Amino acid sequence: MSGSDAEAVLLLRLAGPLQSWGSRGAFNRRETSPEPTRSGVIGLLAAAAGYARERPLDELLPLRLGVRVDLPGTLLRDYHTVSDYRGRPLPQAGVNAKGIQKPTSPPKPTHVTTRYYLQDAVFVAGVAGPRALLETLHLAVRGPAFPLALGRRSCPPTQPVSLGLRDNGLEDALREEPWQASRRAREAYASQLGRERGAGRAVRPARVDRSLTIEDPDGDDVLHDAPVSFDPHARSFTSRRVRHGWLSIPSGFPNPDPDPVDGSGDAAGHDPFALLGW
């Protein structure tokens, strides 16, 4: 396989004060998935590369996606009201024969909408595909043509977004990339772990367990979040199969404690609180 045809993995750090990865929603209720969707990640890459919404996604659709949850964040419910600044009743969703929206009947001056966000979440997304394409996308993410967003335009990411390219396969790349939690979050985790183990001090392990969702044609879960087109007049999505699991990843502590072992000499088992970020 030539250098231009070789596969590589582009790692993206998706972190910010707010994220919202909507896989479904109506006008008055916009929910968020608990982790980045395929449509959200492909949309971010398309924006970075300067794709117009009408442009075909043929280059990006074959890319394979894996998402690691470094910090799940917490759910925020944002309460909205909508009204006409002129004091007029809100229009109906439908239109008359002339294509003009009619006022609501009986008149409705205010409409309540709800938006959901993830606060302080951190994800690492791995995108696998041809190295030449991913090198172009890596440069595009570092100098995007259009503003980048974490699912919705009101959710800008913190930097860096691109962690660079890796050559060791999608799952291995996500397994070996150090934990992207902040120092404060890592220290909170160490303190909680020390309390759970009765150590009387913070415990800083060499590796921590993080959850993984990765595309797999034999996966036992189906998500309907794969974009076919972002064209505003012909938006369409399809399904993809994924599997869920856990990865033991480098914790990033500078001087980690030796992991406790069980009777067989193996490292202690899975931490049931790992997904909570503590």
Q: pLDDT-derived band of residue 265, with 50, 70 and 90 as boundaries?
A: very low
Mean pLDDT, rounded, for 250-274: 63
Task: Look at residue 60 and tell me if it is in a domain.
Answer: yes
59-68, 139-148, 263-272, range with the lowest pLDDT = 263-272
On whether residue 274 sits in a domain, the answer given is no
Q: Is 127 a member of any domain? A: yes
**Tell me: the pLDDT tens digits for 74-119?**
999 998 888 878 888 888 777 778 878 888 878 888 878 888 999 9
CATH of the domain at 182: 3.30.70.2660
Tokens read off for 48: 């970075």
Q: How far apart are CA 232 and CA 21, in angstroms?
A: 18
What average pLDDT does the segment 179-199 reach?
Answer: 94
How does pLDDT run across 6-50, given as a tens digit for each residue? Answer: 899 999 999 999 999 986 655 677 889 999 999 999 999 999 999
**Residues, the chain, total?**
278
Task: Give the structural domain span for 46.
Answer: 7-80+108-254
Q: What local confidence, expressed as pLDDT, does residue 229 receive?
A: 94
39 belongs to a structural domain: yes
- Is residue 88 one of the residues assigned to a domain? no
Q: What percent of the chain has pLDDT over 90?
A: 69
Q: Identify whether 103 is part of a domain.
A: no
The predicted structure's pLDDT at residue 276: 54
Is residue 272 one of the residues assigned to a domain? Answer: no
0.95 cut: is pTM over it?
Answer: no
Whether residue 70 lies inside any domain: the answer is yes
What is the tally of structural domains in the chain? 1
